């Protein structure tokens, strides 16, 4: 009888406690904190540290990709600190900054990055695509006409005249090609049209010419030498060019981009890629 009364008393006491808790005003919790509570079911936690509660991301993260050195420097200046690291990779043609890199005595996340991914210009890609290719006479003439702005020496006006001469002699039978003392190439041909059949003529073109190309969007222009290539075939004269060391020009252009970045920032530019 005594135990039954004690149990009943404990039950009534718990009911009073539960009723009091339910009637208590709600407690105000501060965002950004972590709370733990003792309950009948054990310890319960409330995590208010996430960005959905604080309204602020816990840290900067993500990779931003830009296309020119000016954009890279602007973003780097805004988000970098003394511990930021910069890497240049000449094979991938990229410059990568780890903006939240490890400090000398303090580890960091290394998850906020900036990448300069250079993109070749359309004109560079077009000249590289035809490099070493022999085109039909008219196709080569049309290519020169389409790219007059890039032709430096001979001038675009002279090269336009050459292109027009190539088009005008598309209906002839080329017989030979000789190199002149002036450094030009002279082709001997015989007319095959009905009105001029058998009439002989000559076509003179430069053995080499200079072009100016901008390798990357937003970069400087560079001078390249193109050497004339040709072959006289049964189907007519085929012509083309061979660029002198375009890969070296590409490396030089990338090096100039890296030097421009290096001059804008205090951190050293290391050769390689970050982990």
Q: Is residue 101 domain-shared with residue 185, that is, in the same domain?
A: no
Q: Is the CB of residue 244 less than 8 Å from the CB of residue 222?
A: no
From 21-30, 64-73, 222-231, 235-244, the region with the lowest mean pLDDT: 21-30
Domain count, the chain: 3
- pLDDT at res. 171: 62
Q: Is residue 148 domain-shared with residue 216, that is, in the same domain?
A: yes
Structural domain including 6 reads 2-54
Q: Is the CB of residue 95 less than 8 Å from the CB of residue 258?
A: yes
Q: Is residue 144 domain-shared with residue 226, that is, in the same domain?
A: yes
**What is the tens place of the pLDDT at every residue in 232-269?**
787 778 889 999 999 999 999 999 999 999 999 999 99
- pLDDT at res. 195: 42
% of the chain residues with pLDDT over 90: 49
Asked whether residue 228 carries a pLDDT value surpassing 80, the answer given is yes
Q: Is residue 142 domain-shared with residue 192, that is, in the same domain?
A: yes
Of 180 and 249, the structure prediction assigns the larger pLDDT to: 249
- pLDDT at res. 269: 97
- pLDDT at res. 20: 58
What is the average pLDDT across 177-199? 61
What is the average pLDDT across 199-222? 86
Q: Is residue 41 domain-shared with residue 126, that is, in the same domain?
A: no
Q: Is residue 69 domain-shared with residue 48, that is, in the same domain?
A: no
Asked whether residue 54 carries a pLDDT value surpassing 80, the answer given is no
- pLDDT at res. 191: 66
Q: Is residue 168 domain-shared with residue 198, that is, in the same domain?
A: yes
**What is the tens place of the pLDDT at every residue in 76-131?**
999 999 999 999 999 999 999 999 999 988 999 999 999 999 999 999 999 999 99
Q: Is residue 226 domain-shared with residue 153, that is, in the same domain?
A: yes
The pLDDT confidence band at residue 10, using thresholds 50, 70 and 90, is: low
What is the average pLDDT across 200-224? 88
Asked whether residue 214 carries a pLDDT value surpassing 90, the answer given is yes
DSSP string, the chain: -HHHHHHHHHHHHHHHHHHHHHHSPPPPPPTT-EEEEEETTEEEEEE--SHHHHSS-SS--EEEEESSHHHHHHHHHHH--TT-EEEEETTTTEEEEETTPPPSSS-----EEEEEE--B-HHHHHHHHHTTPPEEHHHHHHHHHHTGGGEEES-HHHHHHHHHHHHHTTTEEEEEEEE-TTSEEEEEEEE-STTTTT-EEEEEEESEEEEEE--BTTS--EEEEEEEEEEEETTEEEEEEEES-HHHHHHHHHHHHHHHHHHH-SS-EEES---
Tell me the range of 50-59, 132-141, 266-275 where mean pLDDT is highest: 266-275
Q: Is residue 148 domain-shared with residue 202, that is, in the same domain?
A: yes
Paired strand residues for 151: 211
Q: Is residue 130 domain-shared with residue 208, that is, in the same domain?
A: yes
- pLDDT at res. 197: 44
Q: Average pLDDT over the chain, rounded to whole?
A: 84
Asked whether residue 16 carries a pLDDT value surpassing 70, the answer given is no
- pLDDT at res. 120: 96
Q: Is residue 74 domain-shared with residue 169, that is, in the same domain?
A: no
Q: Give whole-number Cα distances, 135 to 7, 141, 196, in Å.
A: 103, 9, 26
The pLDDT confidence band at residue 18, using thresholds 50, 70 and 90, is: low
Q: Is residue 159 domain-shared with residue 46, that is, in the same domain?
A: no
Q: Give whole-number Cα distances, 229 to 79, 93, 131, 195, 238, in Å.
A: 51, 30, 10, 31, 8
């Amino acid at each position: 009888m005594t135990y039954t009364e004690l149990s009943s008393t404990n039950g009534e006491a718990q009911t009073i406690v539960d009723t009091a808790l339910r009637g208590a005003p709600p407690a105000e919790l501060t965002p950004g904190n972590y709370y733990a509570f003792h309950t009948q079911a054990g310890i319960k936690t409330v995590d208010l540290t996430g960005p959905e509660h604080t309204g602020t991301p816990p840290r900067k993260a993500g990779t931003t990709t830009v296309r020119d050195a000016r954009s890279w420097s602007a973003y780097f200046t805004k988000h970098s600190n003394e511990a930021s690291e910069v890497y240049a990779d000449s094979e991938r043609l990229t410059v990568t900054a780890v903006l939240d890199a490890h400090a000398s005595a303090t580890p960091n996340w290394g998850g906020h990055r900036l990448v300069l991914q250079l993109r070749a210009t359309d004109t560079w890609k077009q000249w590289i695509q035809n490099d070493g290719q022999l085109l039909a006479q008219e196709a080569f003439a049309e290519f020169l006409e389409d790219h007059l702005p890039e032709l430096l020496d001979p001038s675009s006006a002279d090269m336009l005249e050459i292109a027009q001469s190539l088009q005008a002699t598309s209906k002839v039978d080329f017989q030979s090609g000789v190199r002149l003392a002036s450094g030009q190439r002279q082709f001997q041909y015989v007319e095959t049209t009905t009105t001029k059949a058998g009439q002989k003529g000559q076509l003179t073109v430069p053995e080499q010419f200079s072009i100016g190309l901008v390798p990357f969007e937003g970069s400087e222009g560079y001078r390249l030498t193109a050497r004339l290539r040709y072959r006289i075939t049964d189907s007519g004269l085929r012509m083309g060019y061979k660029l002198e060391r375009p890969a070296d020009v590409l490396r030089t252009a990338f090096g100039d981009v890296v030097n421009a970045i290096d001059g804008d920032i205090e951190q050293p530019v290391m050769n390689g890629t970050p982990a």
